[in-house]
Chains A and B, each alone.
Chain A
């Protein structure tokens, strides 16, 4: 197993290097530059040149790339032009907020999705299956930002049960119940679509397993049905479900961008959108590399988990 993990880790290096090149080239090629974005109406060629010199953007591209990469390998992601603070501080601040949001949404979608899928599969074409399928299709079909806005209107503006936006109360608060109150709506809005997808695919995976011989054997031996489903069948089906969860984790992370905008969640998705619009090159590059590294890391964890469940995969 140790060798397998090492192999997977080593294979991540070229992926990450490739990402640094791509994101660097994209930021270099898109029209508009940070100096123009900062200066706005006052972006005379003279002012732009003065600012670019200050920001070190008058260096040749290849040099800029290697300076950036070299610094990053030493843990220095540079300074954000627009926010005037170290890129890494900003990313870490924001990433913890995104992790709380996306992590909660991920747990919601994994638990609810698998439970719904299993219940659905175990009563195929029954009333519960039909009801769950209906809700799931509805959930998949509603755009999450729309759902988010509708939730704000109902629960925050009309009923005033929950706060509209933000992560903590603006005055006082700051404790766990305060966080949960702010987290409820965005986490649900973010989880809905992924839950639907996980439920659909869990149902399929379960149906396949339930038709297999070992299930019939277990039933024939008189194993209680509950254990057949949640013990034997689900464990076997997890091999098919876990990769889906891995994909959904990425989906939840990227979907967080919209949700963070709607709910003003101080996360990394919002940060990236702002940074792109401001042409805050180092923040965009650092943020993308950081997120990509997390995504690659998560995929390694998923692969390893899968290999542990199903020894056939480890080759």
Chain B
């Protein structure tokens, strides 16, 4: 029969094709060579211009290419010298004078000096600067307190502020304060973000869209030469695929391991790293109207929700329980409070006292978003806990940008409760922008629940202008005690960032800043 010969033949063709393709398959798929570290990132970076970006994902690359005047000391959120060797702050807290490190050059060969520093801040802050149009610079308001920046000589820079602003130094340590090469910006214009040049331990080598960013060792680095020849950052957006790459040996370091996948790496060949960060996940409560206008009902919500179940079961240990508005990662400013215990009986008592049994609650939940952890499962667990003590909770779910569009203008007339999370570099930022009376949405802040306590306002205003760190810490501690009692939020969780490395990777550690510093990492 013609057919049987045909099918036999096509079978033969198929087999030949399969054999040919299997010749392309090398059994041992060793993809990452020694001395070259491959990092699995969660997304493609937006740009490698530190002044133009806002995402932690981009910061992970930037912190290895650039230096700032100051940086966070390893393992802390306290500022130490970097490109500036020393600094002085005037009595009134308005003038900061930095002495710069001598003999540092940018990767493109141009010199790092006071003029370069001035140029960096001018580009960001001065709308008339010839290179201001290489922006936008969305976080430039971090430095809105700067009145003038002047080069006193080649190695001395002076910042004059328009008001005392205590977070100034830690803002300089943030990626928005990293120093870029003016020559490189002039050279590449708007494409600088794809051709970065800094002073850091690694220099930019290649960016292939959505495939990889390669940085190579800077052999002239002022603070010790890096332990690896090169680092490759691979964007792998899908968390399952990232896990599969890690298991298959396609990457050496994986950041942001999804909670459900953590246990997969609990075996020989892998090391799991964890680090609590400057992050707070909370529920904004509408203190202006509805049941949460009564402090007892807000406290009841804090007692009713089983936060241990949230962090251990829903988040599989990738977070710890939050006790107040400041994350424990800010060790120097943290009050060490005990979190609200899970006490449904106490919650019921408080509800009865307030006469709010069966209160109806509209709860805004997001599908996901920066720092939001696992918002939908967390939202439903919270709904169940609140129902158990007698709240009647209705969830409304939104995509992240839509969600921000609903929540940021304030909850009034819309909802009683909304999820939110912040990650900051200074203990000032979150409470200052979300808890003060002057930070109500109509005043341009993020106090979407309309919390107001004059004592808290006064403490936060005072802390912001206090240049003595000990006194500043005392003010924050006092503020935390009051806020915890007032319960403008349900204090939820502090994110514990994690990463997995392969055995060949040594000296890897996560920082409380959530930056990824790879200078000391060695790969065998």
A residues contacting B by CB (< 8 A) are 30-33, 35-47, 51, 54-55, 79, 82-85, 90, 93-94, 115, 119, 122-123, 128, 149, 152-153, 156-157, 160-171, 177, 180-181, 184, 224-226, 261-264, 266, 270-271, 274, 277, 279
Would B244 and A161 count as touching, CB distance under 8 A? no
Would B27 and A271 count as touching, CB distance under 8 A? no
Residue numbers in A under 8 Å from B209 (CB-CB): 90, 93-94, 266
Would B240 and A149 count as touching, CB distance under 8 A? yes
Closest to A123 in B: B3
Would B38 and A170 count as touching, CB distance under 8 A? yes
Would B194 and A164 count as touching, CB distance under 8 A? no
Would A85 and B194 count as touching, CB distance under 8 A? yes
The 6 closest A-B pairs by CB, nearest first: A32-B401, A266-B210, A31-B402, A84-B47, A54-B136, A225-B2
Q: Bound state CA distance, A259 and B38, in angstroms?
A: 23
Would A170 and B236 count as touching, CB distance under 8 A? no
- Contact (A262, B241) CB under 8 Å given A37-B401, A171-B36: yes
Q: Bound state CA distance, A41 and B284, in angstroms?
A: 14
Would A264 and B235 count as touching, CB distance under 8 A? yes
Residue numbers in B under 8 Å from A47 (CB-CB): 138, 141
Q: Would you give 30 A-B contacts (Cβ < 8 Å), ordered by A?
A: A30-B402, A31-B401, A35-B138, A38-B138, A40-B370, A41-B446, A42-B54, A51-B138, A79-B190, A83-B46, A84-B46, A84-B49, A85-B191, A94-B210, A115-B10, A119-B3, A122-B3, A156-B248, A160-B27, A163-B31, A165-B250, A170-B232, A171-B36, A225-B3, A226-B6, A262-B241, A264-B235, A270-B237, A274-B44, A274-B237
Closest to B402 in A: A31
Cross-chain pair count, CB within 8 angstroms: 175
Residue numbers in B under 8 Å from A39 (CB-CB): 54, 138-139
Residue numbers in A under 8 Å from B422 (CB-CB): 41
Q: Does B164 contact A (CB under 8 A)?
A: no
Would A181 and B190 count as touching, CB distance under 8 A? no
Would B2 and A152 count as touching, CB distance under 8 A? no
Closest to A152 in B: B244
Closest to B423 in A: A41
Would A31 and B405 count as touching, CB distance under 8 A? yes
Residue numbers in A under 8 Å from B238 (CB-CB): 261-262, 264
Residue numbers in A under 8 Å from B28 (CB-CB): 160
Distance to closest chain B CB from A249 (angstroms): 23
Would B33 and A32 count as touching, CB distance under 8 A? no
Would B445 and A44 count as touching, CB distance under 8 A? yes
Closest to B235 in A: A264
Chain B 180-222 near chain A by CB (<8 Å), digits 1 or 0: 0000000000110110000000000000111110000000000
Residue numbers in A under 8 Å from B3 (CB-CB): 119, 122-123, 225-226
- With A84-B49, A84-B193 given, can you name 17 additional A-B contacts, CB distance below 8 Å? A35-B138, A38-B54, A38-B138, A41-B370, A83-B47, A85-B194, A94-B210, A156-B29, A156-B244, A164-B244, A165-B241, A165-B244, A225-B2, A264-B210, A264-B238, A266-B210, A270-B237
| Residue of B31, B138, B210, B445 with most partner-chain A CB within 10 A | B210
In which size bucket is the chain B interface? Answer: 35 or more
Chain B 389-418 near chain A by CB (<8 Å), digits 1 or 0: 000000000011110111010000000000
Q: Does B268 contact A (CB under 8 A)?
A: no
- Contact (A226, B32) CB under 8 Å given A149-B240, A170-B232, A264-B236: no
Would B54 and A40 count as touching, CB distance under 8 A? yes
- Contact (A152, B234) CB under 8 Å given A39-B138, A43-B408: no
Would A32 and B240 count as touching, CB distance under 8 A? no
Would A45 and B444 count as touching, CB distance under 8 A? yes
Our pick among A31, A162, A168, A271 for the contact of B25 (Cβ within 8 Å) is A162
Would A266 and B46 count as touching, CB distance under 8 A? no
Q: Bound state CA distance, A30 and B402, in angstroms?
A: 8
Distance to closest chain A CB from B449 (angstroms): 15
Our pick among B190, B250, B406 for the contact of A84 (Cβ within 8 Å) is B190
Q: Bound state CA distance, A266 and B244, in angstroms?
A: 18
Would A51 and B136 count as touching, CB distance under 8 A? yes
Residue numbers in A under 8 Å from B507 (CB-CB): none
Q: Bound state CA distance, A41 and B399, in angstroms?
A: 15
Residue numbers in B under 8 Å from A84 (CB-CB): 46-47, 49, 52, 190, 193-194
Distance to closest chain A CB from B127 (angstroms): 9
Residue numbers in A under 8 Å from B481 (CB-CB): none
Distance to closest chain B CB from A266 (angstroms): 4
Would A274 and B405 count as touching, CB distance under 8 A? no
Would A161 and B241 count as touching, CB distance under 8 A? no
Q: Bound state CA distance, A293 and B200, in angstroms?
A: 44
Residue numbers in A under 8 Å from B236 (CB-CB): 165, 264
Q: Bound state CA distance, A173 and B1, in angstroms?
A: 46
Q: Does B151 contact A (CB under 8 A)?
A: no
Residue numbers in B under 8 Å from A122 (CB-CB): 3
Q: Bound state CA distance, A35 and B54, in angstroms?
A: 11
Docked complex: B25-45 residues within 8 A CB-CB of A = 25, 27-29, 31-33, 36, 38, 43-44
Q: Bound state CA distance, A284 and B22, in angstroms?
A: 39
Q: Bound state CA distance, A226 and B423, in angstroms?
A: 70
Closest to A224 in B: B2
Q: Bound state CA distance, A106 and B234, in angstroms?
A: 28
Would B446 and A44 count as touching, CB distance under 8 A? yes
Q: Bound state CA distance, A297 and B208, in angstroms?
A: 29
Our pick among B31, B369, B446 for the contact of A170 (Cβ within 8 Å) is B31
Residue numbers in B under 8 Å from A42 (CB-CB): 54, 138-139, 141
Q: Bound state CA distance, A32 and B404, in angstroms?
A: 8
Residue numbers in A under 8 Å from B232 (CB-CB): 170-171
Q: Bound state CA distance, A181 and B52, in angstroms?
A: 37
Would A168 and B211 count as touching, CB distance under 8 A? yes
Residue numbers in B under 8 Å from A264 (CB-CB): 210, 234-238, 241
Q: Does B381 contact A (CB under 8 A)?
A: no
Residue numbers in B under 8 Å from A177 (CB-CB): 24
Residue numbers in A under 8 Å from B400 (CB-CB): 32, 277
Residue numbers in A under 8 Å from B43 (CB-CB): 274
Q: Does B245 contact A (CB under 8 A)?
A: yes
Closest to A225 in B: B2
Residue numbers in A under 8 Å from B248 (CB-CB): 156-157, 160, 163-164
Residue numbers in A under 8 Å from B139 (CB-CB): 39, 42
Would B21 and A184 count as touching, CB distance under 8 A? yes
Distance to closest chain A CB from B142 (angstroms): 9
Would A43 and B244 count as touching, CB distance under 8 A? no
